[in-house]
A and B are shown apart, each in its own frame.
Chain A
Amino acid sequence: MSLSLGARSAHGPALLPLALLLALTMPAARAHAYPWMIQHGYTNCSACHVDPSGFGLLTEYGRAQAQIVLPTLWGKKPEDVEPTTGIVYGAVPLPSWLDVGLSLRGAVLSTTTSQGTSWRDILMIADLRAGVTAGPFIASASIGYVPTGATLAAITNQQRDNIVSREHWLGVRLVDQKLYILGGRMNLPFGLRNVEHNAFVRSATRTDTNSAQQYGAQVVWDGPGVRAGLMGIAGNYLIDDPAYREQGYSGYVEGAFSNAFTLGLSSLVTHADLGLSSIANPFVHDPFFGAADDWRQAHGLFSRWHAGGPWVLLAEADLLVQSASGVARDWGGTGFLQADFEALQGLHFIFTGEGLHQNQVTSYGAWFSVSWFFFTYAEARIDTTFTEFGVPGGGHEPSFSVLGQLHFSM
């Protein structure tokens, strides 16, 4: 993932914009994080996901829902589905204390800028996930392979062909599974946990589910009508140089005002001795990269709304503030608005608009995506993204990308 470029070694900010753009537009880790499940009245995530804030490994109940409500059923009625909770389409049964998931996602990406068009094929994710429940104790971990990218989650230290572990944490859940106390490497609790990790709201806040996880301790409340998470961030210990590790907090609180509408508040403050490079806009040199005493803040609102029928709206707006020694404080913001239209079960037409103001320039983009869960545990997706990246001194650099991908899980 893009954040990792130059970050593990913390050298060499002068990367080619096109290469950065390729990395930026490389979606990954989209398995099983669908905020539009509010369409089915799900305002909380923990029934379906081992991570109580959503994403990744599915519970037994989540695997059943993945067979009932996610895919196109090809003439079969949803009420006639008999879900199996084992993996590999039920061929491998699992005990109730064990959750296992395998996710494979490959893609072809075309990116066109004023510098030309490039093509590449990508193995975006090849992760094995497992979770164990023993009384009040829970643990979850993932391990996978990526040929390129995601180096912030890499437990090996190669230029390419790395082993990654995006998550590994353990904890307890108390009070009828409403209260969780977790420790380890976890997704940052912030904003929408949307699948488009390269959306500005995820890349500019560095809260994506691809490789932006951090080590720390987290308290999660998952109660009726309210869910919240607060994580004390100890840093990403997969970054070699401790000066680049961020410490601070990240959290959210979200209220469900009905089973069709939620509104949440997020906040994040981190400090690092030296600033990491951000490539939310690859055409701007990040003045905070390598700057001493780097403070990064993001505060905002997010909402999920089942507007009716097959329509779900997702929205997020965040204030961005960053400061460092010798660098003028930067005030910015980012926004995201997405409409998901499920034309028939499993077939989603997704319309997204987004904007970013950071480092004195403004960028905006529009996405049109089609996501088709054409069979149980199988998704084909195409994203067309047009982005006008702001450039220093005024003007914009246009970029158009088309990404086709296949995702299989079991």
Chain B
Amino acid sequence: MPRRASLLALLLALPLLAAATRVTGEPTAGFHGRGPGGFSLNGTTHQLRIDDDGTTLKVVVPLAGLETGISLRDRHMRERYLEVDKYPDAVLELPWSALKLPGDGQTSEGTAPAKMSLHGKSHEVQVRYRVVRTGNRYQVTGNVPLTITDYGIDIPSYFGVTVQPDVEASASFTAERA
């Protein structure tokens, strides 16, 4: 009976753990790519959510909302390259144990191993992060260099301008952690 009670308590606690970290304010996620010469390309979305099971922080970015400033380019990005219908999210899984969390009023920076899932493929990546803590609020920024061909994404090319396969993905958000 006590074992059952413990199991029940754990099951009840799991959703609480999962909800222990939540995003506040407007998050931003995106990527920065380059082409020939000084050509650059920035994609941005304000859709981002985090899932926290107490062990791993999962940052989920729905890709359908990515915008680059030109809607035809957005359409090509979604349909031809990211194939958002089939692969709607980019997901970064980051173990809490790899993060150095700062004390109250302090800042921590570092690089942590993580798993990036994109376009149906997953790879280990290194995340450069910076966390600023105020009480239980954490302002988080992170960058991940990616090679899109590693994820089976075709190299975008449009009317003579070809984007380089190496891009920088980034996210910034504020989270409250219980």
CB <8 Å contact, A178 and B38 = yes
Total residues of chain A contacting the partner, CB 8 A: 36
Residues of A33-89 contacting chain B, CB below 8 A = 39-41, 43-44, 46-47, 52, 59-61, 63-65, 68-69, 77-81, 83, 85
Q: What is the CA–CA distance of A110 and B72 in the complex, to the nearest angstrom?
A: 40
Task: Select one of B39, B75, B158 contacting A64, CB under 8 A.
Answer: B158
- Known pairs A47-B35, A224-B34, A227-B38; A40 contacts B71 (CB<8 A): no
CB <8 Å contact, B36 and A41 = no
Task: Select one of A79, A85, A176, A225 contacting B72, CB under 8 A.
Answer: A79
Q: What is the CA–CA distance of A225 and B42 in the complex, to the nearest angstrom?
A: 13
Q: What is the CA–CA distance of A59 and B72 in the complex, to the nearest angstrom?
A: 18
- Known pairs A79-B71, A177-B37; A41 contacts B42 (CB<8 A): yes
A352 at interface by CB-CB < 8 Å: no
Q: What is the CA–CA distance of A214 and B83 in the complex, to the nearest angstrom?
A: 49
- Known pairs A78-B70, A79-B75; A96 contacts B37 (CB<8 A): no
Q: What is the CA–CA distance of A47 and B35 in the complex, to the nearest angstrom?
A: 9
CB <8 Å contact, B70 and A40 = yes
Q: What is the CA–CA distance of A68 and B38 in the complex, to the nearest angstrom?
A: 21
CB distance from A129 to the nearest CB of B (A): 17
CB distance from B55 to the nearest CB of A (A): 37
- Which residues of chain B are near A222, meaning CB under 8 Å? 37-38
- Which residues of chain B are near A80, meaning CB under 8 Å? 72
- Known pairs A41-B69, A46-B37, A85-B159; A259 contacts B74 (CB<8 A): no
CB distance from B105 to the nearest CB of A (A): 29
B2 at interface by CB-CB < 8 Å: no
Q: What is the CA–CA distance of A77 and B71 in the complex, to the nearest angstrom?
A: 8
Residue of A whose beta carbon sits closest to that of B164 = A176
- Which residues of chain A are near B139, meaning CB under 8 Å? none
- Which residues of chain B are near A392, meaning CB under 8 Å? none
CB distance from B47 to the nearest CB of A (A): 19
- Which residues of chain A are near B34, meaning CB under 8 Å? 224
CB <8 Å contact, B71 and A83 = no
A93 at interface by CB-CB < 8 Å: no
A90 at interface by CB-CB < 8 Å: no
CB <8 Å contact, A223 and B37 = yes
- Which residues of chain B are near A173, meaning CB under 8 Å? 37
CB <8 Å contact, A44 and B42 = no
CB <8 Å contact, B71 and A78 = yes
CB <8 Å contact, A224 and B38 = yes
CB <8 Å contact, A259 and B42 = yes
Not counting A41-B68, A61-B158, A85-B159, a sample of 19 additional A-B residue pairs whose C-beta atoms are within 8 angstroms of each other reads: A41-B70, A47-B39, A52-B37, A59-B160, A64-B159, A69-B70, A77-B71, A79-B71, A79-B74, A83-B159, A173-B37, A177-B36, A178-B37, A222-B38, A223-B37, A223-B38, A224-B38, A224-B40, A227-B38
